[in-house]
Amino acid sequence: MTAVHNEQTKLLATALNNIAVAFAVIGFVTPITAMSFGVASAPTLHPATAFFAAIWLSAGIGLHAIGRRVLRSIKP
């Protein structure tokens, strides 16, 4: 069962990391890229935009940290 447990653990950690990357791209990278290219529907640069971008980025970092923590349960 150890090999199965380890593979399921790695799959869970990968899924969490993929969601973390999606959060960072959706909430942080996309608005900044849209503003830098001058997209008409891009958010304006004000404190609320920066706050929500920071929230999305923090959520991504948090999910990545959870994924790393899940990997600690891999058995030798």
First to last CA, the chain: 11
C-alpha–C-alpha distance, residues 57 and 64, integer Å? 11
Predicted confidence band of residue 68 (pLDDT cuts 50, 70, 90)? very high
* Cβ atoms 53, 31 nearer than 8 A: yes
pLDDT at 1 over 80: no
pLDDT at 76 over 90: no
Predicted confidence band of residue 75 (pLDDT cuts 50, 70, 90)? confident
* Cβ atoms 20, 67 nearer than 8 A: yes
Closest CA to 27 of 54, 61, 66, 63: 54
Number of domains in the chain: 1
Tens digits of residue pLDDT in 14-57? 999 999 999 999 999 999 999 989 999 888 888 999 999 999 99
Q: Note the pTM of the prediction, 2 decimals.
A: 0.86
Phi-psi region of 21 (alpha: psi -120 to 50; beta: other; left: phi over 0): alpha
Domain that holds residue 22: 2-73
